[in-house]
Amino acid sequence: MKKVRKAERIAAIVNILTENPNQVFTLTYFCQMFNCVKSTISDDIDGVKEVFKSYELGTIETISGAAGGVYYNPLMSRDQMLEFTGQLSEQLSDPSRIIPGGYLYTNDLLYCPKTCSKIGNALASLFKDVDIDYVITVETKGIPIAMMTARVLNKPMVVVRNKSKLTDGTVIYMNYMSSSGHMIKTMCLSTKAVKKGSKVLFIDDFMKAGGTAKGIIELMQEFECEVVGVGVLMATKQPIQKLYHSHKSLLLLSEIDEKNKNVYIKTAL
Amino acid sequence: MKKVRKAERIAAIVNILTENPNQVFTLTYFCQMFNCVKSTISDDIDGVKEVFKSYELGTIETISGAAGGVYYNPLMSRDQMLEFTGQLSEQLSDPSRIIPGGYLYTNDLLYCPKTCSKIGNALASLFKDVDIDYVITVETKGIPIAMMTARVLNKPMVVVRNKSKLTDGTVIYMNYMSSSGHMIKTMCLSTKAVKKGSKVLFIDDFMKAGGTAKGIIELMQEFECEVVGVGVLMATKQPIQKLYHSHKSLLLLSEIDEKNKNVYIKTAL
Give the pLDDT confidence of A170-198 residue by residue, as tens digits. 999 999 887 777 788 999 999 999 999 99
Please count the other Cβ atoms lying within 10 Å of the Cβ belonging to residue B214: 18
Residue A164 pLDDT:
85
Name the residue facing A113 among B15, B52, B147 (closest C-beta). B147
Q: How far is A244 from chain B (nearest CA, A)?
A: 23
Which chain B residue is nearest to residue A99, measuring alpha carbons? B169
pLDDT grade for A2, boundaries at 50, 70 and 90: low
| Percent share of chain A, pLDDT over 70 | 99
pLDDT grade for A1, boundaries at 50, 70 and 90: low
Tell me the C-alpha distance between B200 and B227, whole Å: 5
DSSP string covering chain A, please?
-PPPPHHHHHHHHHHHHHHSTT--B-HHHHHHHHT--HHHHHHHHHHHHHHHHHTT--EEEEE-STT-EEEEE-PPPHHHHHHHHHHHHHHHT-GGGEETTTEE--HHHHT-HHHHHHHHHHHHHHTTT---SEEEEETTTTHHHHHHHHHHHT--EEEEBSS--GGG-SEEEEEEE-TTSS-EEEEEEETTSS-TT-EEEEEEEEESS-HHHHHHHHHHHHTT-EEEEEEEEEEESSSSS-SS-S-EEEEEEEEEETTTTEEEEEE--
Residue A67 pLDDT:
76
pLDDT at B111 exceeding the cut of 70? yes
- Report the pLDDT averaged over residues B227-245: 91
pLDDT at A249 exceeding the cut of 60? yes
Give the pLDDT confidence of A29-88 residue by residue, as tens digits. 999 999 999 999 999 999 999 999 999 999 999 999 877 899 999 999 999 999 999 999
Contact: B44, A6; criterion CB under 8 Å: no
pLDDT at B2 exceeding the cut of 70? no
- Report the pLDDT averaged over residues A110-137: 97
Contact: A143, B143; criterion CB under 8 Å: yes
Name the residue facing A190 among B7, B107, B161 (closest C-beta). B107
Q: How far is B29 from chain A (nearest CA, A)?
A: 14
Chain A residues touching residue B108 (CB < 8 angstroms): 156, 192-193
Give the pLDDT confidence of B139-166 residue by residue, as tens digits. 999 999 999 999 999 999 999 999 988 8
In chain B, which segments carry CATH 3.40.50.2020?
78-267
Name the residue facing B11 among A48, A112, A169 (closest C-beta). A48
Task: Tell me which of A242 and A15 has the higher pLDDT.
Answer: A15
Task: Tell me which of A177 and A148 has the higher pLDDT.
Answer: A148
Q: How far is A243 from chain B (nearest CA, A)?
A: 22
Q: How far is B225 from chain A (nearest CA, A)?
A: 17
User: Which of these, A77, A70, A76, lies nearest to A16 by C-alpha position?
Assistant: A70
Name the residue facing B47 among A7, A16, A156 (closest C-beta). A7
Q: Decide: pTM greater than 0.95.
A: yes
User: Which of these, B22, B48, B212, B54, lies nearest to B127 by C-alpha position?
Assistant: B22
Tell me the C-alpha distance between A230 and A138, whole Å: 12
Chain A residues touching residue B70 (CB < 8 angstroms): none
- Report the pLDDT averaged over residues B78-82: 97
Span A78-267: which CATH code? Answer: 3.40.50.2020
- Preferred mutation among B41, B46, B110, B143 to probe A, highest tally of A CBs within 10 A: B143
Residue A160 pLDDT:
97
Across chain A, mean pLDDT equals 94
Phi, psi (rounded to 5 degrees) for B73 = -120, 105
pLDDT at B3 exceeding the cut of 90? no
Q: How far is B110 from chain A (nearest CA, A)?
A: 9
ipTM value of the model?
Answer: 0.96
The sign of the torsion formed by the CA atoms of A4, A65, A121, A21 equals positive
Tell me the C-alpha distance between A221 and A131, whole Å: 18
- Report the pLDDT averaged over residues A104-126: 97
Across chain B, mean pLDDT equals 94
User: Which of these, B247, B234, B188, lies nearest to B215 by C-alpha position?
Assistant: B188
| Percent share of chain A, pLDDT over 90 | 87
Tell me the C-alpha distance between A125 and A64, whole Å: 23
- Residue pair A172/A192 in contact by the 8 Å Cβ criterion: no
- Residue pair A158/A204 in contact by the 8 Å Cβ criterion: no
User: Which of these, A145, A116, A118, A150, lies nearest to A133 by C-alpha position?
Assistant: A150
pLDDT at B134 exceeding the cut of 70? yes
Chain A residues touching residue B192 (CB < 8 angstroms): 105, 107-108
In chain B, which segments carry CATH 1.10.10.10?
6-73
User: Which of these, A164, A212, A211, A214, lies nearest to A191 by C-alpha position?
Assistant: A164
pLDDT grade for B167, boundaries at 50, 70 and 90: confident
pLDDT grade for B199, boundaries at 50, 70 and 90: very high
Tell me the C-alpha distance between A248 and A243, whole Å: 13
Contact: A105, B57; criterion CB under 8 Å: no
Contact: B51, A112; criterion CB under 8 Å: no
Contact: B113, A151; criterion CB under 8 Å: yes
pLDDT at A261 exceeding the cut of 70? yes
- Residue pair A62/A46 in contact by the 8 Å Cβ criterion: no
Residue B1 pLDDT:
54
Task: Tell me which of B8 and B1 has the higher pLDDT.
Answer: B8
Which chain B residue is nearest to residue A100, measuring alpha carbons? B169
Single-letter code of the amino acid located at B143? I
Name the residue facing A18 among B19, B112, B168 (closest C-beta). B19
Residue B165 pLDDT:
86
Lowest mean pLDDT among A106-120, B17-31, B54-68: B54-68
Determine whether domain B6-73 maps to CATH 1.10.10.10.
Answer: yes
